[in-house]
Amino acid sequence: MDVGIIGLGQSGKTTVFNAVTRGKAQTGYGGGHEPNIGVVKVPDRRLDVLTAMYHPKKTTPAEIRYIDFPAAGANFGKGEGPGGQFLGEVRKADALIHVLRAFADPSVPHPEGRVDPARDAATMDLELAFADLALIERRLDRLTAELRSTKAGERGQGERERALLERLKAALEAETPLRAVPLSEEEHKLVSGYRFLTLKPLLLLLNAGEEDVSRREDLEEALRARYPQPHTEVAALCGKLEMELLDLSAEEAAEYRADLGLGEETGLDRAIRLSYDLLGLISFLTSGPDECRAWTVEKGATAPRAAGKIHSDLERGFIRAEVVRYEDLVACGSEAEAKKRGLLRTEGKSYVVQDGDVLHILFNV
């Protein structure tokens, strides 16, 4: 699971990235840099319990990769995209965090002259929509040409794709991001290859100044009212403070957090939880003598899609899944016992995977 961090120059992207990944990337460039990549292992107590049960050779937690992109170029707002030349890389991300500057530090110039997170959010929305529109138009042109040279009886698939793309185009032209367009499972499959930017789940992350720590919820509320769409969330955090707290011992940091009214949850934990819950991700588990492992999948994913996270062969050749709830498995002490008590279910292709499912995939390729 890759989460791309995007935003205007000097909005605090790298600061937030450091806070989330315990990274030490350099901040305060003001002129772009290579993307920073950091891997965060998702803490999951369930995995510890399964490890104690199975004594596997290996335990592998779910991981989220955060990619901190450099700022948009000077031509931002003119079709240059959120990371200028890195647009293609941003497309590969599974979800986006848009860091919005909300701190007022006169020593850090704002590229637009004035701090206004709602305006910056709207600018980026427009920019991402432009990029998606351009992609749709190119594809529509090609598809139209292809359809012309296809026999009348064989145009079904192409016609369906064209109709869908026309619908998505109309949505974008009406300033509706694609994540807000209801899509069937089939349609989702059709468009997933395009890696549309406005289809990705979006977390708008307000980077608040130290002086606004106690106002975080007000800041969130004000922006959230503008973003009622699905797969869109708003959160506020104080990136610089969170980053600085990483240098303290756990005890000192906890004390400091309490004094400042920061809440117990660290920036790291909060961002992971938000990346998960708010971006619509859940974990399922696999267990056995070789490996106990947690995997990340989108909420609502079917069993074959979840299987595809493990290996594409498992999705392609999916036959069925054996499923047991984590709690049931632990209560029973073993899969054999769970089976005896009728808690090990067999599920087919349309089964929607739940957070905490322990899965065995049966497949044939």
Which of 1, 42, 50, 71 lies at the binding interface for ligand GTP (CB under 6 A)? 71
Which residues touch 124 (CB under 8 Å, ≥6 apart)?
A: 6, 7, 8, 82, 98
Identify whether the C-beta of residue 167 lies closer than 8 Å to the C-beta of residue 181. yes
Q: Does 82 bind ligand GTP (CB under 6 A)?
A: no
Give 100 or 294: the residue with its C-beta nearer to ligand GTP: 100
Helices and strands (DSSP H and E) totals, the chain: 14, 12
Phi/psi of residue 150, nearest 5 degrees: -100, 140
Which of the residues 100 through 129 are near ligand GTP (CB under 6 A)? 103, 105, 108
Q: Does 296 bind ligand GTP (CB under 6 A)?
A: no
Min CB(25)–ligand GTP separation in Å: 8
Phi/psi of residue 360, nearest 5 degrees: -120, 125
* 186's tokens: 């089939």
Q: What would the DSSP string read from start to end of 192-240?
A: HTT--GGGS-EEEEEE--GGGGGGHHHHHHHHHTT--STTEEEEEE-HH
Min CB(266)–ligand GTP separation in Å: 15
Give 205 or 281: the residue with its C-beta nearer to ligand GTP: 205
Gyration radius from the chain CA atoms? 23
Cα dihedral: 27, 213, 125, 2 (round 10): 60
Residues 67-101: b if buried by 16+ CB within 10 A, e if exposed: bbbbbbeeebeeebbbbbebbeebbebbbbbbbbb
Give 6 or 329: the residue with its C-beta nearer to ligand GTP: 6
What is the size of the binding site for ligand GTP (CB under 6 A)? 23
Which of the residues 286 through 325 are near Mg ion (CB under 5 A)? none
Type of residue found at 288: G
Which of the residues 202 through 221 are near ligand GTP (CB under 6 A)? 207, 209
Which of 67, 131, 199, 238 lies at the binding interface for ligand GTP (CB under 6 A)? 238
Min CB(30)–Mg ion separation in Å: 9
Whole-number Å distance between alpha carbons of 13 and 205:
10
Q: Does 300 bind ligand GTP (CB under 6 A)?
A: no
Q: Does 36 bind ligand GTP (CB under 6 A)?
A: no
Q: Print the binding letters for residues 77-116 with Mg ion: x by CB under 5 A, - otherwise.
A: ----------------------------------------
Which of 7, 11, 14, 47 lies at the binding interface for Mg ion (CB under 5 A)? 14
Binding site for ligand GTP (CB under 6 A): 7, 9-15, 27-30, 33, 70-71, 103, 105, 108, 207, 209, 238-240
Binding site for Mg ion (CB under 5 A): 13-14
